[in-house]
Amino acid sequence: MTERSALLRDLEALLFVSDEPVPSVVIAQSLGIERREADELCEELARAYEERGAGIVLRNVAGGWRLTTSPAAAPVIEGYVLASRHVRLTKAALETLAIVAYKQPVTRHQIASIRGVSSDGVLRALIERGLVAEVGREEGPGRPMLYGTTPEFLERLGLSSLADLPPLAPLLGAADEADAAGETE
């Protein structure tokens, strides 16, 4: 076995046992190589999975490298996940998560103002799922808690950073047009 093959094997094993994205610097330290070489190894392993049509893919998400299932295997995975303990997010949870994602850091009161209803229970559920976390306190009366998304949120959505979220402007424009169409009828 060549040194490169051994490094690829060790990289694959490291990524397999990790339950979160592994930053390149951690991979480099673990394998005793330079960070640049760690990124090159990850890219090479990702290409190898892609070329053979593997059931897993290696992606750079949330600031690190992570093994994920192949999009082509989605129907099988979806059936498995839906039959297991994983439950989809409710409409209220999705609304709240979207508000936090786009407005963060945001207070509980700001979320409730945007949604028009109390979101305390929904916010608690998102925190328990690890998608939202307390990120600080607002400077002001009462110093309310501020909330933001977590690396788990980025990972679950397959995003490298919040900058990868789709822009809101086109979506808001479509909503305004729909509202205007409803008013003229």
The per-residue pLDDT of the chain, averaged, comes to 87
Report pLDDT for 183: 47
H helical segments located in 18-34: 24-31
Residue 185 has pLDDT above 50, yes or no: no
Report pLDDT for 118: 87
H or E element in which residue 158 lies:
none
Asked if CATH classification 3.40.50.10190 holds for the domain at 3-73, the reply, yes or no, is: no
Residue 56 has pLDDT above 70, yes or no: yes
- Looking at residue 112, its amino acid is A
What does DSSP assign to residue 142?
T
pTM: 0.51
Residue 9 has pLDDT above 90, yes or no: yes
CA angle 108, 114, 116 (to 5 degrees): 95
H or E element in which residue 93 lies:
helix 91-103
| SS3 of residue 136 by DSSP | strand
Residue 146 has pLDDT above 60, yes or no: yes
CA angle 104, 110, 111 (to 5 degrees): 75
Report pLDDT for 142: 87
| SS3 of residue 129 by DSSP | coil
Judging by DSSP bridges, how do beta strands 145-149 and 56-61 pair with one another? unpaired
Where, residue-wise, is CATH 1.10.10.10 in the chain? 3-73, 91-184
57: which strand partners?
68
What does DSSP assign to residue 164?
G
Share of the chain above pLDDT 70, in %: 87
Q: Are 147 and 123 in contact (CB under 8 A)?
A: yes
Give the CA-trace dihedral at 162, 164, 170, 174, to 10 degrees: -80
Q: Which fold does the domain 91-184 belong to in CATH?
A: Arc Repressor Mutant, subunit A (1.10.10)
